[in-house]
Chain A
């Protein structure tokens, strides 16, 4: 099958011009010296990373991973399956799996001799115990309902059963997951941290005081996590992939300002930096010594303008189409060109099978004005007369990207006679208002993919079943029976090609009905020192250090300046 996976596109000319202008204003130092480019991988060394924020919830796989905990969690806890460098699902702790009962049973065959970080061998009982621990009603698991298709889930989650019927340890190395109905996304669900096997020290029930322990390539020692300050993981010497990891340790520093990160990166005290300001990142990228050291992941988050389809004027599809056609997405990308890509459809680049050639929500001012006319609110840009008579309240949160992009949206929509009144609130208030029925007329929407499958976007954001009066993830409160039926069929379709075709149809429906006007996709941009080798961008495994090694020059060797 032809791969139509999309990566973030190269920067356009205007962006390079902007980069060059910014770059000329201040020079950047030379990269740290590194060994020759063909130096073989070697063991030892430490990788130092940083973030301006802090891990919010914790490192237990059963608590909701945030943007920062996902990386360390993947290193501590290996899963039965995982992603390869192309974000495809591959066996990990399981050496293989099979699908039976027409998609109702997923049977995983564990590798033999996998040693957990507590020294015990991984068995099917550990997988079952970890699953029951994660989905137990007393566990603060924010992903539990994701697994509600497991047989016996309802009884177990309600505390009416002692064990989860749908997870069966068939022998020491075989575990089966039985589903109430076929689910083509189940292998994706197994990539989430939630059901990753935990050491027996975790016990059967969640505890706040447990020291995270799994079967991953790095382990956490007591006292090595100083919350809000640093997290240090050291090599799991008995990791099941022989020879890996190469590094002795990975250490994250948290709550570090962007300025401090830049200074430390320049000194070689940080090895990879992700939180550079746009200006700083531009200077580095524009410098030929650094230009090859930037690493771009695939878009993993989709942004759009959510229009509440139950509230005027967005109960009129023509008005929504007008908005979708009036937005000049290239202006949005100007805000953060290093990390954003203009998007005119629902699926970001990390999803395999995205059809970039399909005519989606394209910027067309004339078409937007025509949609306004069809809606009964013609607008004359020359005189400024016409359009929707009332100001429309637009909800966004601050601090954050929406505080900036909302002003672009305001200008774009003014050209077709829609006047926005921007209301900036805290993120907590934003969620409370946006997810309540009738809470927001129009708001900024975004979704970070939990896994790179179209269902994670369509089922969650646009299916009628995702509407909830007080906590709706379908923030447009959009309901389309034809789309619902299509999504239900796609969910149980096992044939990948047929399934993807259904999602293409779903994409077309959503783009045409325009509950969201899609705007841009978001991806991480990392800059590495030249001595950091083996670092492969992977949107689903952020900052994965499993195969990274440090290639500093040998003592006394002449450093190949700037050579990656």
Chain B
């Protein structure tokens, strides 16, 4: 328990540090968010007025303090944005009877929208894509890795290892374009891009981006699982289990895979964080309106509130994923628990 509390404490520190560094860097970089909002052709007088409206004429320390003060605060349980301008950019995250905990990232400079709404729209889409991509890489990677290990030295093993090398080497955009060309343009089985408007549409639209996202991970997991399994299957206890009559399937799945899971879980922990940050190329090519697309545009437009919101969400996702991975270690390997 104390270990978990310490990990959570460090996680809070990491998020604070990452967001603070982002805040400072975003301010130090050349480029004026007010100019970007007003447009390249706006007059200096209009830019100055918009800068003042955005609060950018205040000192950095004042804006930094206000950001943290507003980020998580107590407020009314029900928010009426039209009558309550102080909470016009808030979202209720934890109801507490008469009041509630609010989350407030401010208003997007470019889009003039509450950033919590933007992130609230985009995060589930990115999470769905990340989950689908993770499923692809797990199912394909584990399956082919086990198969390659079971048929070590065979043509199948060589084919799978060779293919995985291609999967690791090929750039994401190339995989995306190939999948689009074959499955959307030539065969017409799946949509070329987009997000869809119904659940069935979403399901069809997510297939190609999920495979694009999953190819690299699947290829990596194939090699990882194969190598781990090959090492494990040479162990004495495996020979003993075989001598006791355990079937090959039981050896591979119950003994080999269980022990190979520790490095795989580590990789998954890192991948989840990266995927939550937004698969920029995949989202762009497939027009999947997620966090990656949002954060790239925010960076180009110097839209500070959106950049900070994306960084908060991503960093929280990464540290939480790592806390979960740590917890899983102790379940998978009793030696970790005892140490």
Using CB atoms and an 8 Å cutoff, list the residues of chain A in contact with chain B: 54, 56-58, 63-64, 66, 137-138, 140-146, 148, 157, 208-209, 226-229, 253, 255-257, 259-260, 263-264, 425-429, 431-433, 435, 447-448, 450, 460, 468, 470-473
Contact = CB atoms under 8 A, between A and B. Distances in A.
Contacts of B157: none
B46 A209 contact: no
Interface string B20-52: 000000000111100111111111111111100
Contacts of A54: 297
B287 A428 contact: no
Contact of A428 (B45, B48, B82, B301): B301
A260 B180 contact: yes
Given A209-B81, A255-B289, A447 B35 contact: no
Contact of A255 (B35, B47, B287): B287
Given A58-B112, A429-B29, A144 B46 contact: yes
Contacts of B184: 263
B43 A473 contact: yes
Contacts of B37: 57, 64, 140, 142
B41 A450 contact: yes
Interface residues of B, number: 46
B42 to A, nearest CB: 4
Nearest to A466: B43
Interface of B: 29-32, 35-50, 53, 81-82, 107, 110-113, 177, 180, 184-185, 192-195, 284-285, 287, 289, 293-294, 297, 300-302
Nearest to B302: A428
A471 B47 contact: yes
A140 B44 contact: no
B82 A209 contact: yes
A227 B111 contact: yes
B61 to A, nearest CB: 22
Contacts of A259: 177, 180
A58 B302 CA distance: 17
B46 A145 contact: yes
B59 to A, nearest CB: 17
A141 B300 contact: no
Contacts of A209: 81-82
A344 to B, nearest CB: 23
Contacts of B31: 426, 428-429, 431-432
Given A143-B46, A256-B287, A432 B32 contact: yes
A64 B35 contact: no
B173 to A, nearest CB: 10
A153 to B, nearest CB: 11
B73 to A, nearest CB: 21
B297 A257 contact: no
B319 to A, nearest CB: 28
A267 to B, nearest CB: 9
A330 B195 CA distance: 43
A144 B47 CA distance: 10
Nearest to A63: B112
19 contacts: A56-B111, A56-B301, A138-B53, A140-B50, A142-B38, A142-B50, A143-B46, A157-B49, A208-B113, A209-B81, A228-B294, A260-B180, A263-B185, A263-B192, A428-B300, A429-B31, A431-B31, A432-B31, A450-B41
B179 to A, nearest CB: 12
A472 B44 contact: yes
A470 B31 CA distance: 11
Given A256-B287, A428-B300, A448 B41 contact: yes
B87 to A, nearest CB: 14
Contacts of B110: 56-57
Q: Which 10 A-B pairs have the closest CB atoms?
A: A428-B31, A142-B38, A471-B44, A142-B42, A468-B44, A429-B30, A64-B39, A432-B30, A145-B45, A208-B112
A257 B32 contact: no
B29 to A, nearest CB: 7
B300 A426 contact: yes
B208 to A, nearest CB: 12
A129 B47 CA distance: 24
Given A144-B49, A229-B194, A263-B185, A460 B30 contact: no
B285 to A, nearest CB: 6
A142 B54 CA distance: 13
A257 B287 contact: yes
Contacts of A432: 30-32, 35
A427 B300 contact: yes
Contacts of B111: 56-58, 227
B41 A447 contact: yes
A226 B32 CA distance: 27
Given A57-B111, A255-B293, A432-B35, A64 B301 contact: no
Contact of A431 (B40, B48, B192): B40
Nearest to A471: B44
A431 B53 contact: no
Q: Which of B30, B185, B293 has the most CB of A within 10 A?
A: B30
A64 B42 contact: yes
Contacts of B81: 209
Contacts of A435: 35
